[in-house]
Structure 1
Amino acid sequence: MAEDIVEARGIEWVPASERHGRPSQLFTLWFSANLGMPALLVGVLGPVLGLSIGQTLWAVLLGNLLASTLLALVAQAGTGQGLAQLPLVRSVFGRLGNYVPSFLNTLSATGWYTINTAIGGEAVSRLLQWPLGWSLALLAAAQVALGYLGYGVIVRFERIMAAVQAVLFLLMTVIGWHLVAHLPAAHPASYGPFLLEVAAVASYSFSWAPYASDYGRYLPETTPPRHVFWATFTGSFAATLWVELLGAVAGAMGWGALSPVAMVSRWMGALTVWALLAIAFGTMTANAVNVYTATLSFLTLDIRVRRTHAAAALGVAGWILAWSANAHLLSDYENFLLLLSYWVAPWIGIVLVAKARGYISKDQALGAPRWRWPALWAFVAGLIAVVPFMSTTLFEGPIARILDNGDTGYYAGFLVAAVVYGWLSRPESRMAASRSAQG
């Protein structure tokens, strides 16, 4: 019985005889994973930056259209391949070259697991009236269990929680509707903060892109790619748009300096218990995905350990960090993770060009050479291109200063990496490199 519940595979290819499921599971997974406090806080950021509620709404809409499209395109690249995302793009970066994005994604996914656990632990502590340490341990145990059990349990869990979270956030929406009539007047800000909010919204959603194919690798080979695209797009877009709009209202009310738990307590009043449940469940839905993908990314480094053991180790490490860190350290850590996320845009640019040229496939991934230099050089070029356009609390580039602190680094990194990879990986270059490797 236990063998039927615990996923036996790590990052191995899934044969056709073991494929099952429907694309609709991708909708519920991405919808559920995004109904939580991290997305809400992205919406809060707009008014904190000085945007009017109208400007924030436009930023949320534009950022999510862009990011959900990119996430869905990357997910579509894995349709029918039977491999998780980072093992699949060995066909683009090479087996050893792929260690770079695999390590970065392990670090990023584990880091966000830690931040989310800290937020959710506070909600559980308030909900159960337990000490924070015990609350963090309970939450971490549930999340580690999901990561340990693996794909099948996570997909079922997200399907159930999509309905539960939708009801809880609908309750928050109904109760908070009266706040709209009491929003203070705000003068529109300049284009700089608007660009920064669009970047924040987009980066939150497309940071899931290195996870994209992890949750479709068991789908049948005959699954239409367009169904994967639309299920992923609508799940991500609907959830993030909804929750970030709620966050925009909370930010416009001047609650940006409050902790997430204090914010929803102010929002819900006597019904705060339901909002605390939404935070706790939202932490689990996001972190089930984070710990599972962190595990697959870790295994893509060719470290010989069972998937179940790696999931438990990474989950416990994130719990210990969340438990031992103070608020200031967690804030600094979150800023570091936001800085780290700039690598995703160049990676997406390279992957989408490779997808368009037919370079991404199971056969090429399983037989990948050690290095594929066009992708690696393009990745470096994209990272270098990001720097002048960055606008973060840790570093601000010269062009960002000219743009009134507006952040356009993600777009620069995406475009430069895509163009450089498109040039270096021209079909004739690819064929010559292939012949050289065979020789």
Structure 2
Amino acid sequence: MTASSNPTAASDSAGRATAIETRSIDYVPDSERHGKVSQQGPFWFVGNFQPFTLALGFVGPAMGLSLWWTIVAGLSGIAFGTLFMAFHATQGPVLGLPQMIQSRAQFGYRGVLLPLIGTLFTFVGFNVVDTVIIKAGLESIFGWNSVLVAVVISLVAAAVAIFGHDLLHKSFRILFWVSLPLWTILTIGIFAGGVHGSIGPSGAGGFTLVAFLVQFSVAASYNITYAPYVSDYSRYLPRDTKPSSIIASVFIGASASPAWLIPLGAYLATYLGATDALSGIYAGGNQVVNGLGGVLALVAAAVLVATMGLNAYSGMLTVVTAIDSIRPITPTRRLRVVTIVGLTVIWLVLGLALTDATESLNTALLIMLYLLVPWTAVNLTDYFFIRRGHYVIADLFTPHGVYGTWPWRGILAFLIGIAAEIPFMDLPFFVGPVATALGGVDIAFVVGLAVSGLAYVLFSRGQDRSKELSLMAAHPEVTDPRDTGEIRAELAVEEKEQH
């Protein structure tokens, strides 16, 4: 819902895109569902159509992996990670809620704080690395002051996040049509032999299992880390949206751009020695068409800034959910603005302090993967196999509802999954004993996914859901609440009557 009090504004898409969104962690009623499935594919395509994605193709060659093995590992990882991401997208239209509010059904009203730590780390972490990529790249290319660049892009990203859902969608649609022809020209030029010489040291590389799995893991984590975002941007879709349609739209959009840019990045790294994404785009583009590199670098930076807005928006939802889990609040525009400004200061300070984006990218993505895989396993298992998409939405907004405050099943499955990953982890500052025995091969995320999902299924077998099911049967309206404030008021009255 937008900020306008004019009833006709709800049907005016232009008005929506220029007004501050009023919804945050609260339910989106059917009357405000104006999203389209056809917009999901381009939205997530552009989310990955940027230098960060290109840089994923640098990982394998940096570890001695050949071009073709880098491509195989990268595309396999992207397909694996995107599959989980796409299935999360189905929850938005059905429930009309941000992803992490829905997670209260598995982790409880306050227990959801545990996975919220991982998701907030993801949102802030991506923006820190994006800031480093942009400031270093634009300083290298144009000689611009890196501090000023970091400040300006952070302010722009924050402003887009403050306006919210509709402006984000509109910005991504515009950037889709601006970016597509530029990347097409660059790609055709590179593979037609229009780019030659060497930007730096290069080598053909070969194959090692460690390098292959690191490339696979980094690519898989790239879209798995989008899992906590997806329903934030699909919750405005109509309730009757076909699950197969949105899964296909999100999967194709979110995987197509990495399937394009990872091989391109691997080529630039292998044969041209590129180590910086923006600089590689700039140098390669100018060789294809004079001036193309500069234009493409600026557009690529703009896409990164829009993606930073995406991270800031979902980061705000995460923080507000966390605050609400400690003490129930009414989500207001002021809280939205203050939260986004606070997040902006954090990622800006960290982004200014860091100088090496490549090393940060590798480590950050792996940590995000370790934290988010157990969560996604529990969440998807609950949604598709335990509760099959049916929830008492009203009770997600109270610690006294059927989902409880600290339900042990989801929390324990999550923690067991993380614990199971530790021996298999391979990080710069820690290598688990199993990873050491395997020569540095990291399969921690596969272990975490399997262990958390299986543990949650086993724990749920003895769960008594009679109260939840009877509540849904007797009061179907509890799955379609009108407003968060109304829900809390009614629950407060019921609680007083019971006592």
Maintained 8 Å contact 2:140/2:279: no
Are the aligned partners of 1:91 and 1:361 in contact in 2 as well (CA < 8 Å)? no
The separation in 2 between residues aligned to 1:329 and 1:121, in whole angstroms, is 10
- The 8 Å contact of residues 136 and 355 in structure 2, kept in 1 or not, is answered as no
Tell me if structure 1 keeps the 8 A contact 2:141–2:279: no
Aligned with residue 316 of structure 1, among 345, 360, 368:
345
Alpha carbons of structure 1 residues 396 and 278: separation in structure 2 relative to 1, 3 Å: farther
**Which residue in the other structure is 2:486 paired with?**
none
Secondary structure (helix, strand or coil) at the match of 1:327 reads coil
Alignment of 1:354-365 (within 5 A): 354-359=382-387, 360-364=389-393, 365=396
User: Which of 429, 432, 437 is the matching residue for 2:463?
Assistant: 429
Map of 2:91 onto structure 1? 77
The 1:45–1:263 alpha-carbon spacing in structure 2 relative to 1, beyond 3 Å, is: same
Question: 1:16-60 CA distances to partner (integer Å, 9 max, x unpaired)?
Answer: 111112112211211011011111111111111111111111112
Give yes or no for contact 2:131–2:351 (8 Å, CA) kept in 1.
yes
Preserved contact between residue 115 and residue 334 of structure 1 (Cα < 8 Å): no
Residues 220-239 of structure 1 aligned to structure 2 (within 5 Å): 220-239=238-257
Change (3 A) 1:161 1:83: same
2:359 is the alignment partner of 1:338: no
SS at match of 1:198: helix
How much has 1:285 moved relative to structure 2? 2.8
Bigger Rg, structure 1 or 2: 2
Question: Cα offset for 1:347?
Answer: 1.0
Amino acid at match of 2:283: R
Q: Give TM-score scaled by structure 1 length.
A: 0.91
Of residues 350, 355, 378, the one that matches 1:327 is: 355
Q: Name the counterpart of 1:302.
A: 323
Map 1:67-216 → 2, pairs under 5 A: 67-125=81-139, 129-177=143-191, 178=193, 186=204, 188-216=206-234
Is contact 1:79–1:221 with CA below 8 Å preserved after alignment?
Answer: yes
- Kept in 2, the 8 Å contact 1:26–1:231? The answer is yes
Report the Cα offset of residue 302 of structure 1: 2.6
Secondary structure at the aligned position of 1:301 is classed as helix
By how many angstroms is 1:424 displaced? Answer: 0.1
Q: CA deviation at 1:244?
A: 0.8
- In the aligned structure 2, how far is the partner of 1:168 from the partner of 1:396? 42
CA contact (8 A) 1:165 1:281 kept: no
1:212 positional shift: 1.4
Q: Distance in 2 between matches of 1:57 and 1:328?
A: 24
Residues 97-150 of structure 1: CA deviation (Å, up to 9, x unaligned)? 101112321222012112202212334446665322222222112111100100
Given the alignment of the two structures, is residue 27 of structure 1 paired with residue 41 of structure 2, yes or no? yes
* Aligned: 1:374 with 2:409: yes
> Structure 1: 5+ residue runs without aligned partners?
none
**1:42 corresponds to which residue?**
56
Q: Could you tell me whether the CA contact under 8 Å between 1:390 and 1:400 is conserved in 2?
A: yes
> How far off its partner does 1:433 sit?
9.0
Q: Does residue 279 of structure 2 align to residue 279 of structure 1?
A: no
Larger deviation, residues 268-277 vs 368-377: 268-277
Asked which structure has the greater RCO (Cα within 8 Å, sep 6+), the reply is 1
Q: Distance in 2 between matches of 1:36 and 1:266?
A: 16
On the 8 A contact 2:160/2:306 being kept in 1, the answer is no
Mapped to 2, the partners of 1:200 and 1:330 lie a distance apart of: 12
Q: Superposition RMSD on alpha carbons, in Å?
A: 2.7
After TM superposition, give the deviation of residue 237 of structure 1 in Å: 0.7
How far 1:329 moved relative to its partner?
A: 9.2
Extract unaligned runs of 5+ from structure 2.
Answer: 5-15, 470-494
- Partner letter of residue 310 of structure 2? V
Aligned length: 435
2:264 paired residue number: 246
**1:253-278 residue CA offsets vs partner (Å, 9 max, x unmatched):** 2525x333333333233432023113
The answer for the alignment partner of 1:418 in structure 2 is: 453
Conserved 8 A contact 1:78-1:88? no
Task: Calculate the TM-score normalised by the size of structure 2.
Answer: 0.81
2:417 is equivalent to residue 403 of structure 1 = no
C-alpha distance in 2, partners of 1:286/1:353? 28
The one-letter amino acid paired with 1:249 is Y
